Amino acid sequence: MKTKDLYFLLVATALFLPFFLCEQLYAAYQSFNAAHGMVMSFLKFGILSTMGELLGLRISTGNYFRPGFGVLPRALVWGVFGMGINMAFIVFSTGVPAFAAYLGVDNPAGLMAGPLCLGKVLLALAISVTMNTIFAPVFMTLHKITDTHILATGGTLRGLFTPLPMGEIMQGMNWRVQWNFVFKKTIPLFWYPAHTVTFLLPEETRVLFAALLGVALGVILSVAARKK
């Protein structure tokens, strides 16, 4: 392990360890999270998913930082995405059980609120498959577009807020990799099961778990970027 990897590990430890050591701090986090879920979604994704991108950069280039990478713009974009992901969790975790009830499933909302059982796992899988089939491709494509825009504008906050040439970026995207790897492989093989676990967790921990999955997303995107 190199010195820069040790520093990264120390920062990650410093973020999480206090919540395990101090009950008052963890209680304050739970209280604020319950009262301000969208704010916490912004912070969780802004911090953790950006760390995932830095880890992905380390895998692809050997370094955690490089000129023009745009750590602050990425953190800001991830924070906004985090609020959108939290909204998607609420919409799909409510809508899919409602649709299941419409199809004749007996009390799916109560099933999701109850103890772990096969029916609950299957319903969580249905929520995950529905959300990742409908929402994930749009989200992943938008993430790729903003990522490209950040790099093209020098990784600055001012550049982030310049007009986004959506059509030009989409025309220049590698759709072969986007379809064959990002959509076709990562969604069914990783995100379907990962978010099945997410929807089996208590509601107050789902966004945090999803933000931790953002670290995995950073690694996945770095692998995709290296594919020809």
- Average pLDDT, rounded, for the chain: 90
Residue 228 has pLDDT above 60, yes or no: no
Task: Judge whether 117 lies within some domain.
Answer: yes
Q: Per the structure, how many domains does the chain have?
A: 1
Query: Strand, coil or helix: what is 167?
Result: helix
What is the model's pLDDT at position 220? 67
Q: Is residue 91 part of a domain?
A: yes
12 Cβ partners below 8 Å, 6+ apart? 51
Task: State yes or no: pLDDT of 116 exceeds 70.
Answer: yes
Q: Give per-residue pLDDT as tens, 38-56.
A: 999 999 999 988 988 888 8
Provide the percentage of residues in the chain whose pLDDT is more than 90: 62
- Residue 122: domain span: 36-226
Query: Residue 1 domain-assigned?
Result: no
The answer to whether residue 198 is domain-embedded is yes
In the numeric block, the tokens 């919540």 are attached to 19
Tell whether 172 is covered by a domain.
Answer: yes
pLDDT tens digits for 198-210? 999 998 889 889 8
- Tell me the per-residue pLDDT of 164-188, one tens digit each, with 9 for 90 and over: 999 999 999 999 989 998 899 889 9
Better-scored residue on pLDDT, 218 or 109: 109
In a domain, residue 25? The reply is: no
Burial of 166 from C-beta contacts in 10 A (0-12 / 13-18 / 19+): exposed
Rounded CA gap, 82 and 84, in Å?
Answer: 5
Query: How confident is the model over 139-168, as pLDDT tens digits?
Result: 999 999 999 999 999 999 999 999 999 999
Question: What whole-number distance in Å separates Cα of residue 132 and Cα of residue 217?
Answer: 14
pTM over 0.85: yes
* Tokens read off for 107: 């009390």
